[in-house]
Amino acid sequence: MNRQAQAAVLFLLGAALLHAGATNLYLRYVKAGLRPLLLVSGAVLIVTALMTLWFERKHDKQGPTPEETNEHHPPDPGHSAPGHDHASPRISVSWLLLLPLFALILVAPPALGSYSAVRSGTALQPPYGYAALPSGDPLPLSVVDYASRAIYDHGRSLAGRRVQVTGFVALAGDGTPYLVRMALNCCAADARPVKIALTGRVPPVLRPDTWLRVTGAYTPRRTTDPVNGGPVPYLAVTAASPVPTPADPYDESWNQ
């Protein structure tokens, strides 16, 4: 890849990072806190592309200086005369950068969903403590918050409350419907599901990966995750309605 092509790839890559960081696209892949770094590095990549072209042009105008003629030869093939391209039989590894570029710009895959959730065990872990719940009916709770209160606090703080939980649907091998949120620490590679099993007035037809806002009440019934044996609480559903995918599809409460 000669330097003009490299500048083009750097520019596109920088633009893709800026686009992902400026919209909510990046939240499908990494934690929210990475946004400033994404924007800065996207800008750096674009500046690098522009500086590459700028020095190419300057170089073109001045022509090679005596010292520079040394560099035109094997020691730095990337620094060959502008516009000239070495037709090397070797595939330069830099071409691989086009793969994430295409994946990010053209495909923009969705956040991890039911496929990953069913394949990995629940990541529920004992919380450091329980904050007092605000008043309100129904009470909005995250999947992680409901699950840890139901399991490790035995639902004490949930007694007599109507709760409202938002997550996506995943169906276990035996057909048990789960409401799931993937919990994330850094990027989707370390995302792990936290699951709530649904009982009561569950909608008759559930499609995996549909986002639902479920209203219901605590029930002491619990089960274990078939994958890792982790605890999975039940939620007695009274109503469920489909909602659009939230801006941040992951639960990041463990980052705070």
Partner 1 sequence: MAPSRPAVPQAAEPLPAEPPVADPHPTAPRPAPPHRTDGWHLTSPVVLTLLLLVMVVVQGPLRGALSAPVTQSWTTVFVAVVVQALPFLVLGVLLSAALAVFVPPSFFARALPARPALAVPVAGLAGAVLPGCECASVPVAGALVRRGVTPAAALAFLLSAPAINPIVLTATAVAFPHDPRLVLARFAASLLVACAMGWLWQRVGRPDWLRPPAHASHEGRSRGAAFWGSVRHDVMHAGGFLVVGATAAATLKALTPASWLRAAAGDPVVAVLALAALAVLLSICSEADAFVAASLTQFSLTARLVFLVVGPMIDLKLFALQAGAFGRGFALRFAPATLALAVLGSVLTGAVLL
Distance of CA 112 to the CA centre of its chain: 7
Strands (DSSP E) contained in 83-210 are: 139-141, 162-171, 177-183, 192-200
Nearer to partner 1, 113 or 216 (CB): 113
Rounded distance between C-alpha atoms, residue 182 and residue 250, angstroms = 5
Find the binder of partner 1 among 186, 207, 224, 241 (CB under 8 A). 186
Site for partner 1 in 86-145 (CB under 8 A): 86-100, 102-104, 106-107, 109-116, 119-121, 123, 125, 128
Listed in sequence order, the DSSP H helices in 30-142 are 35-62, 66-71, 98-102, 114-119
CA distance readout (Å), 47 to 11, 78, 241: 8, 19, 47
Find the binder of partner 1 among 1, 197, 198, 235 (CB under 8 A). 1
Site for partner 1 in 20-49 (CB under 8 A): 20, 26, 28-30, 34, 37-38, 40-41, 44-45, 48-49
Residues 6+ apart with CB under 8 A from 111: 27, 28, 29, 182, 188, 245, 249, 250
Nearer to partner 1, 66 or 160 (CB): 66
65 lines the binding site for partner 1 (CB under 8 A): yes
* Part of the chain binding partner 1 (CB under 8 A), chosen from 12-20, 139-147, 173-181, 216-224: 12-20
Least Cβ distance, residue 99 to partner 1 (angstroms): 6
Least Cβ distance, residue 246 to partner 1 (angstroms): 16
Site for partner 1 in 206-245 (CB under 8 A): 227-229
Find the binder of partner 1 among 71, 153, 248, 252 (CB under 8 A). 71
Nearer to partner 1, 30 or 214 (CB): 30
Nearer to partner 1, 71 or 248 (CB): 71
Least Cβ distance, residue 169 to partner 1 (angstroms): 14
* Part of the chain binding partner 1 (CB under 8 A), chosen from 3-11, 161-169, 199-207, 236-244: 3-11
Nearer to partner 1, 89 or 175 (CB): 89
Long-range residue pairs from 223-226, CB within 8 A, at least 24 positions apart, any chain: 223/176, 223/197, 225/121, 225/122, 225/195, 226/172, 226/173, 226/174
CA distance readout (Å), 168 to 14, 111, 116, 133, 162: 32, 11, 12, 24, 19
Rounded distance between C-alpha atoms, residue 127 and residue 107, angstroms = 37
Rounded distance between C-alpha atoms, residue 133 and residue 95, angstroms = 53
Rounded distance between C-alpha atoms, residue 68 and residue 48, angstroms = 21
Nearer to partner 1, 49 or 235 (CB): 49
Nearer to partner 1, 9 or 214 (CB): 9
Find the binder of partner 1 among 61, 67, 160, 247 (CB under 8 A). 67
